Chain A
Amino acid sequence: MARNKEAVVLVIDVGPSMHSVLPEIEKVCSLLIQKKLVFSRYDEVGFVLFGTADTKNELKEEIGGYEHVTVLRNIKVVDEDLVDALQKLPRGSVPGDFLDAIVVGTDMLIKYGQTNKAKRRLCLITNAVSRIKDPFEGTKEDQVNTIATQMTAQGIKMDCVIVRMKQDRETNRSIMEENDFLMSVFSNKSSSKVVYVESPTSLLGALRTRNISPVTIYRGDLEISAQLKIKVWVYKKTSEEKFPTLKKYSERTPSTDKFGAHDIKVEYENKIIEDPNKVVPPEQRIKGFQYGPQVVPISSAELEAVKFKPEKSVKILGFTDSSNIMRHYYLKDVNIFIAEPGNKNAILALSALARAMKEMNKVAIVRCVWRQGQGNVVVGVLTPNVSDKDNTPDSFYFNILPFAEDVRDFQFPSFSNLPSSMQPNEKQQDAADKLVQMLDLAPPGKQEVLPPDFTPNPVLERYYRYLNLKSKHPDAAVPPLDETLRKITEPDVELLSQNKSIIEELRRSFELKDNPKLKKSARRIKERSSGSDEEREVFNKDADVKAIDSMKFSAKTEVEKVGDVNPVKDFEEMLSRRDNPKWISKAIQDMKNRIFDLVENSCDGDTFHKALQCLVALRKGCILEQEPKQFNDFLCHLSKFCQEKDLRSFCLYLTSHEITLITKAEAPDSEISEHEARSFMVKPELDSQNMKSEAKAEDDIMSIYLGGK
C-alpha cells in the first residue's frame, strides 16, 4: 500500500537489570506505535522480549536454543491492542542475551520479507550488561559478523539503544566492554546505528518514533568553478516537527448520525472593505504590495514577467575563516550536503575539502538556487562534518546567512562603560565563575545532559499520551507533566543539591530586588483600580514605570500625581513641569482617572461640580499641550459611559455648562469642526455617526480611556 511502508520488530530486554527503566521503555515504544496509528497506519510491527523466564519463538522450535526469548506478537499491522500491550511489559527474571534476541528478530524480518515488500527495521533496547553465550563454533565476533552480513544482504536496518543508568555502570566492566565491542561490529559492518543513553529523558528521545523518509531538495553540481563541479545531494538536516494540525469539530452533527464526519468546512469570501455587500470571486483578485503609503497592484503575469529569475545552481563563492561567521547568524533550519551516492570521485572530493577546511578552520560561502524557477537566491555557509566512521561519508552542514536587509545594527552600551554599581566585583565574579563551571550539563566522563539529538519535544510527548488517554476516557483532564519530561523544562533537582553551596554563595553575592518604587505604585494602582480589567492595570503600571524613571531627575517635593484633594492644582503643576515631557501624559492620564472616579462615585451629583472643574482644567491643558484628541476622545467616552451607567444627569450638567469638544480653531491637530463641536453639545447622546474620527469598534473605547492611542 503506502510507498514508505515499514515493518519493525521491537526487541526489548526485560531482564532484572532493566526493570528500573522499563516504564520509560513502555512510554517510548507505545509512542512509536501511536505515531504509526496516526501517521502510517499500514506499517507492521512485531514485538519480542528477552530475559523472560519463558521461551517462545520459532527458531527454538526449528533448531533449538534461543531460550528466554519470547515473541509476544508476530509482525502485523499496527493496532490499538499493541499500544496497551506495550504499556504493560512483563518483567523478566533472567539476564538477557541480546545476540539471541537479534537473531530471533532478524529471522522474523527475513521470513516476513519473503512475502511482503516493506522497509525492514529492528529496534533493540537493552543495557547490554549481561554476558553473551559462547557460540558452538567460532568466536562471538564471528557470529556477529555472520548476522551483520545476513542483515546487510537482506537490507535490514537495526537501531540499538543501549541504556546505561548509573547502577549499570558499576556492573562487570569486562562484560560491558565485550558487549560494546560486539555492538561496534554491528555498527561498522551493517546498517546499524548504536546509541548509548544514560538518562530516562534521553531514552525517550533516542528511539526514532516517527519515520520520515528524507527527500533531497537539490541534486546536482556543487560548483567551485566552471572547471570543477562536484556532484552532491542536499537534504534537510533539521526541520521542525510541528504540533499536529487538528480538524475543527462540528457539534451540529446529530448524535443519531453514527457516520457523521463532524467535519467543518471553512468557506472564504472576499469582500470590498468599503462596500461589504460586494463579493469578489477569487480569480478577480489581484495582489497589492505595500510601498510606503501606496499599495501597488501587480498581477501574477506581471509579477512573473519582472521577477528575479536566477538559474538553478549551487556555487561556492569562496572560503573564509570560521571566526568570520558567528553562530548567531545562522538563520533557519539546517541542510546537509552529501556527495552523490556511489560516485567515488565526488565522495573523495567532498571528503578532501571537508578535511582540509576542518584542519584550517575554514568555512565555505555558497550561493544556492535549489530549483529552476525559484524566485530568490540564498547565501549560506558550509561547515565541514567529518565522519569518524568508516562506513559514513564526510559531508557538510549548510546554514543560511542573512542578507544586508536582514540585519539591524542596533547599538548597545559597552559593559565596561556601565556605572560601577552594575559592574560585578571580584567576589561576585568568582561566584558567577563557579556557577558556570559547576552547574555542568556536560560533565567529563559522563554523557551530556539534554543533548538536542536525544531530547524529545515534551509538548508532542504530552500530546500523544493525552490522545491515547482521551481515546479511552474522553473526559480525562490533561495530566501533569511527568518527572522524566520535567527534566527538560526544569533544572535537575539533584544537580542543584550537589551545588548547594555555590548557589547559596551566588545568592549572597548578588543583591537582586524588585524596583521598590515600582512595587509601591503597582500596589497603589491595585487599590485604586475599580474594574477587574487587567489591561488597565498593566497600562497604569507601565505608565508609572515611566513616571518613576523621570523621578530620578526631579526633586521629591514636586507634584507627581493628581491627588484627591486639589486635583486641578496638581494637574496644572504637573503640566508646568519641564524636567521631563512624560509628566504631561501622566498628568492627563491621572486627570482622566480622577474625573472618572468622581463621576462614578457621585451620589446625587454631589461631585459633579468638582468633576466639571477638573474637566475644564483638562480641556485647557489639552489645548495648551496640543493634545486635543486626548480630550475629545475622553469626552466622548465619558459621555457614552454616562449614558450606559445611567448617569445622564452628568451629561446634562456638562451641556448646561457648555463643555464642548476642542475644535480645529482652538487646536490645529483637532479633527472636529466648529459645527461638530456644537452639535455634540446640543445632542449629548452622540452616536457613532457624529464621531467619524472615532467610528471604530466598541473595544477601542477602552483603549481610548486607557491612553488615547
Chain B
Amino acid sequence: MSMDLDPDEVFRDDEDDPENEFFKERDNTKEFLVYLVDASPKMFSSTCPTDDEKIATHFQVAISSIAQSLRTQIINRSYDEVSICFFNTRGKKNLQDLSGVYVFNVREREDLDRPTARLIKEFDQIEERFEKEIGSKYGIVPGSRDNSLYNALWVAQALLRKGSAKTADKRILLLTNEDDPFGNLKGVIKVDMMRTTMQRAKDAQDLGITIELLPLSRPDDEFNVSLFYADLLGLEGDDLAQFKALIGERFEDLNDQLRKRMFKKRRVRRLRLVIFNGLSIELNTYALIRPTNPGTITWLDSMTNLPLKTERTFICADTAAIVQEPLKRFQSYKNENVIFSVDELSEVKRVSTGHLRLLGFKPLSCLKDYHNLKPATFVFPSDEEVVGSTCLFVALHRSMLRLKRFAVAFYGNSSHPQLVALVAQDEVMTPSGQVEPPGMHLIYLPYSDDIRHVEELHTDPNSVPHATDDQIKKASALVRRIDLKDFSVWQFANPALQRHYAVLQALALDEDEMPEIKDETLPDEEGMARPGIVKALEEFKLSVYGENYKEEDSDIEGKAAPTRKRKANAIKEYGNYEWADLADNGKLKDMTVVELKYYLGAHDLPVSGKKEALISRILTHMGK
C-alpha cells in the first residue's frame, strides 16, 4: 500500500520514548473482555427507529455495536482477547453446560481469544442465524430454579480464568434492557436467587474482574438501576448518582453511546506541569486523536510465508572491516569532519527537564490556524502522586475558558523538546452523552524554522486584486447555500483504510471476490444540482469571471507541461532507433535508461522502475 506507515512519525517521539517507558508499562496490559448479551424476548420486542426509517430492536443495537468494536479492535488492539456470550437463550453452548447461556464462536479460535477475520464475518451474520441456531427464551421464570443471569456470570467468569489478573484487565460488559431480572418471581425463591446471583458477581469481582453494565433503555421506560443492578455492581453514593442508563430514542444514538463506553481509556504517560518553581501539578496524557495506519508490516519470505527478521551489519567503508554499531557521528563542515559522541548529541537536545514548564498565557487569537505540526494530546489532572493537582487544574481551566486564553509551556521531552499551547476544552454534552471531555489539549507549536513564508512568493509589487463587495456578497450567498449543518469530523470513515481491511479480511478468509467499499468522502453531487445552489453558483461565477467563464486547461502551466515536452522529445528520439532489431538481438540491455525511456514515452507506457523492469515492459509491449 502506498500509504506511508507513519509518514510524520507522530508515533515515534511520544510513544517510543524509552525514558518514559515505565510510565505506561502498567497501562499496556492486555484486555480480556466478555460481552454478555441479553437475548431475551424483551430485547427483541423493544425497538427504536433508525435513520433510514426502519425499526431496530435493542438486540440489533447491541450486536451492531459489538460488531463495530470488533472491527476497531482488530485494527487497533488485536492482542486483546474477546468472547461473545448470549444469555436467555433457548439453546445452550458452554463448557459448564449451563442452561440459557450460549457462547458464540467460530472455528480455529478458543472461546476467549483474539478476534479473527472469521469471527467478524460470522458475527455479522448472527442476526439471520440467531433464531434458528440459538433462539431467544426467558431464563428466569416462576416455578423454576433456573437462573440464566447467574449462569451467564458463571460462564463469563470461567472464560476469564485464563491468564493472570496482573497482566490482563478482565472485564465483563453486560448488555441488557431488563432492569429487574427477578421481577416476575416472588417470595423466598426471589430473595434467594437474587442473593446467589449477587454473590456470583461479587466472587467474580473479587477475582479482579470488572463488571460493567451497559443498559439499553427507552425514553418512556427508563432503566432503573436501583432495582437490582446497583447492588450487583456495588454502586453507592456518587457512583450511583453518576451512573446513567443509555437512553436514546434513535438507534444511532444508542449505538453511538454503546460504542463509546465499550473502550477503556488508556493513559499515554504521566507528566508534571511546573506552574513555577516549587509548585507543580500532575497530569495524565491521552492520545484521543491519532491517525490510524494500515498496521505494521511483517516481511515474509515469499516462498514459505515465514516471517523474516532484518539484521544490520556495520561496515567501515575505508577498511571494509565489520564493526560494532558505532557510538560516534559526524557532520562534514568546513571541509572537515566534526565528530560527536552519541552522548554529546543527546546533551545538545536536553534543553530542559522532562516536565512541562508553564511560561505564561496568551489570548486565543494568538493561536493561528497554521500553528500546528502533529496531532494534539489530551491532558487530564490526577491526584495520584500530587494531591491537590485536580483542584488547581480545574481552577486554571475555568479561568482560561472564561478569559479566552491559552497557556504556553515548554515541553522538555528528551527526544523532541517543543513549545506547546495548552488549550482549555469545556465539556460538551449532548443528550446521547459526552462529546468532548473536559480538560486541556496540548498543541505542539512550530518554531520559526518550521514555518514557511509562501505568501511572499505570491506578492506582486503592482498589488494584487482583492474581491469587491459585490463578489463577497455573492460568495456569502453561495457559502450559505452549501452548508453542512451537522458536520462532525468523525463522520467519514477512511476509504483507503476500509478498503485495506476489507481486502485483508477477504484474503484472510480465502475469498476470491474483493469487496466494494463505499467512499463516503465524495461530494454530494445530487445536492449540488439543486436549483438554489446552481443559481448561487452561477451568480458567483458571473460576478467574478464575467460572462465568459470557461474551463481553463488546468495543465498548461502545471506539472503536465514538462511531461508533454518530454513526450514530444521521446517521439522525436524514438525514430532514431531500430527497436525491433535491438529487441531481437538482445541489445536492449546495452542501451541506457534514458534511451529506453524514449520507447516507453512514445508509447505512453510508465517510465518508472529499474532497467530490467523497463526492458521487460518494452518486450511485453512489442509482444515478445
Contacts and interface: CB of A to CB of B under 8 A. Distances in A.
A324 B487 contact: yes
B472 A407 contact: no
Nearest to A538: B22
A456 B238 CA distance: 49
Interface stretch (B213-221, B305-313, B579-587): B305-313
Given A251-B326, A397-B370, A231 B554 contact: yes
A352 B467 contact: yes
A620 interface: no
Interface string B472-515: 11111011101111011111111111011101110110000010
29 contacts: A221-B554, A228-B549, A239-B450, A246-B330, A248-B329, A249-B329, A250-B317, A263-B318, A266-B313, A268-B311, A270-B301, A271-B308, A292-B119, A293-B114, A295-B300, A307-B496, A331-B289, A340-B557, A345-B545, A351-B466, A353-B479, A359-B476, A403-B494, A408-B289, A436-B403, A488-B351, A510-B388, A510-B391, A512-B387
Given A403-B493, A512-B388, A411 B117 contact: no
B62 to A, nearest CB: 18
B265 interface: yes
Interface in B333-360: 333-334, 336-340, 344-345, 347-349, 351-352, 357-360
Interface string A683-709: 000000000000000000000000111
A41 to B, nearest CB: 9
Nearest to A534: B22
Interface in B313-329: 313-319, 321, 323, 325-326, 328-329
A308 B522 contact: no
B359 A450 contact: yes
A424 B400 CA distance: 14
B229 interface: no
Contacts of A585: 164-166
B592 interface: no
A520 interface: no
Contact of A471 (B303, B334, B351, B492): B334
A224 to B, nearest CB: 7
Contacts of B387: 512-515
Contact of B492 (A190, A392, A403, A510): A403
B96 interface: no
A513 B388 contact: yes
A538 B463 CA distance: 64
A245 to B, nearest CB: 9
A318 B484 contact: yes
Contacts of B308: 270-273, 280, 285
A406 B456 contact: no
A462 interface: yes
B263 A271 contact: no
A299 B303 CA distance: 12
Contact of B206 (A228, A454, A581): A581
A271 B314 CA distance: 17
A44 to B, nearest CB: 16
B326 A193 contact: no
Contacts of A437: 361, 399, 403, 405
B370 A238 contact: yes
Interface stretch (A14-22, A491-499, A566-574, A649-657): A491-499
Contact of A294 (B2, B116, B338): B116
A330 B443 CA distance: 9
B559 interface: yes
Contacts of B1: 303, 307, 375
A336 B455 CA distance: 9
A328 B205 CA distance: 38
A485 B348 CA distance: 13
B452 interface: yes
B452 A436 contact: no
Contact of A351 (B161, B441, B465): B465
Given A253-B318, A441-B362, A404 B492 contact: yes
A219 B394 CA distance: 47
A329 interface: yes
A111 interface: no
A338 B454 contact: yes
A399 B369 contact: yes
A529 interface: no
Contacts of A339: 458
A635 B187 CA distance: 53
A451 B476 CA distance: 32
Contacts of A286: 299-302, 305
Interface in A162-212: 188-191, 193, 205-206, 208-210, 212
B541 interface: yes
A671 interface: no
Contacts of A80: 334
A413 B239 CA distance: 11
Secondary structure class of chain B's binding surface, majority of residues: mixed
Contact of A260 (B318, B403, B508): B318
A383 B369 contact: yes
A338 B452 CA distance: 14
A374 B507 contact: no
B457 A402 contact: no
Interface size bucket, B side? Answer: 35 or more
B537 interface: yes
B323 A252 contact: yes
B568 interface: no
Contact of B519 (A310, A348, A458): A310
A437 B383 CA distance: 26
A675 interface: no
Contacts of A506: 275, 279
B489 A285 contact: no
A320 B334 CA distance: 54
B91 interface: no
Given A355-B472, A581-B165, A264 B316 contact: yes
A356 B479 contact: yes
- 7 shortest interchain CB distances as A-B pairs: A581-B208, A246-B329, A410-B265, A376-B496, A352-B467, A432-B395, A356-B475
A402 B489 contact: yes
Given A442-B366, A466-B348, A585-B165, A411 B412 contact: no
Contact of A409 (B260, B347, B363): B260
A206 B448 contact: yes
B390 interface: yes
B331 to A, nearest CB: 5
B133 interface: no
Contacts of A513: 386-388
A503 interface: yes
Interface stretch (A65-73, A123-131, A414-422): A414-422
B144 interface: no
A310 B238 CA distance: 52
A397 B369 contact: yes
A467 B386 CA distance: 41
Contacts of B359: 441, 450, 490-492
Contacts of B533: 225
Given A402-B490, A418-B390, A328 B318 contact: no
A287 B516 CA distance: 22
A293 B78 contact: yes
B447 A319 contact: no
B386 A297 contact: no
B434 to A, nearest CB: 5
Contact of B313 (A219, A267, A319): A267
B125 interface: no
Nearest to A272: B306
Contacts of B10: 332
Contacts of B464: 347, 390-393
A404 B369 contact: no
A85 interface: no
B233 to A, nearest CB: 15
Contact of B289 (A407, A490, A491, A581): A407
Interface in A283-328: 284-299, 303, 306-308, 310, 315-320, 324-328
